[in-house]
């Protein structure tokens, strides 16, 4: 089931998880894997997921329930609005799950100095990963230097914590995506990311594939926006994503457990 865009030598974690589900069949599981081994397969997928709750109307009680439910799976991170960073950080003590936060969200229309100040304050509040939105208008105007400056400002403000740079690809053509991803990586981004989930469109396989081609092994690729089921998550991993951003992580993982138990093919 491997696509022509990658060789069989691809060994990154996203591809490993994709293949582990793609190769499921009754014969693959016959006589073999224990329930623990099946759970570990699903946990490997969970470790690539940033489970998010970014709705502007989310209440503290909803955030508490969100963080409590997340303890069921070893997600890479929980990503929340800045106002909830300290609350989530406390709730995740004793787990391997990182506390992620958005910066300049959702439009990216803040000066670099303010994005850096926001990120620095959130790092002091306990945030461990940072998903920042670039100023899309600067990129569309061809001002790649401004993109580099703002990304570098945030990267330096929170170093050595990872910064994921949201390009909001639905606004961009191929050339702008290439320039934006290149500028972000040159400025020290740990990941480039497709979408906020609040723009005109979400993650697309072709965008993930292009971002992977641009960044190579220099940075990760995070697919986010509209990923609501196992098939769409696996499609993004197949295209080159290292991380999946979704508010549907629990249902995706429950679907993965059912697929594994049934030895269904993907």
Please identify which of the residues 193, 207, 242, 260 carries the catalytic annotation.
Answer: 193
**Which entry of 131, 144, 207, 260 is annotated as an active-site residue?**
131
Sign of CA dihedral 64, 35, 45, 119: positive
H helices of 58-111, where?
60-70, 85-91
Provide the CB-side half-sphere exposure for 123 (13 A, CA).
19
44 is catalytic: no
Q: What angle do CA 192, 98, 160 make, to 5 degrees?
A: 60
CA dihedral 130, 6, 14, 128 (to 10 degrees): -20
> Quick one: DSSP state of residue 192?
E
Catalytic-labelled residue, pool 164, 222, 242, 260? 222
> Catalytic annotation on 193?
yes
N- to C-terminal Cα distance for the chain?
9
Based on the residue annotation, tell me whether 222 is a catalytic residue of this protein.
Answer: yes
Active site residues: 131, 193, 222
């Amino acid at each position: 089931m491997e696509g022509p865009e990658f060789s069989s030598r691809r060994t990154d974690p996203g591809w490993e998880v994709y293949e582990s589900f793609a190769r499921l069949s009754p014969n693959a599981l016959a006589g073999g894997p224990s329930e623990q081994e099946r759970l570990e397969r699903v946990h490997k997928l969970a470790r690539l997921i940033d489970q998010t709750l970014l709705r502007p109307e989310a209440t503290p009680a909803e955030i508490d329930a969100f963080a409590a439910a997340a303890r069921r799976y070893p997600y890479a991170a929980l990503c929340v609005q800045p106002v909830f960073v300290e609350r989530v950080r406390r709730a995740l003590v004793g787990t391997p799950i990182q506390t992620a936060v958005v910066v300049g969200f959702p439009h990216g229309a803040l000066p670099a100095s303010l994005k850096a100040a926001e990120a620095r304050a959130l790092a002091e509040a306990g945030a461990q990963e940072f998903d920042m939105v670039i100023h899309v208008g600067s990129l569309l105007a061809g001002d790649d230097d401004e993109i580099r400056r703002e990304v570098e400002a945030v990267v330096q403000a929170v170093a050595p914590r990872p910064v994921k740079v949201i390009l909001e690809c639905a606004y961009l053509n191929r050339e702008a995506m290439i320039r934006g991803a290149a500028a972000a990586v040159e400025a020290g981004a740990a990941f480039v990311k497709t979408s906020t989930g609040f723009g005109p469109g979400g993650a697309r396989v072709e965008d993930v594939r292009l971002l992977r081609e641009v960044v190579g092994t220099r940075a990760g690729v995070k697919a986010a926006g509209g990923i609501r089921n196992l098939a769409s998550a696996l499609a993004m991993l197949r295209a080159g994503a290292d991380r999946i951003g979704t508010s549907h992580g629990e249902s995706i993982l429950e679907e993965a457990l059912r697929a594994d138990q049934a030895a269904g093919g993907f």
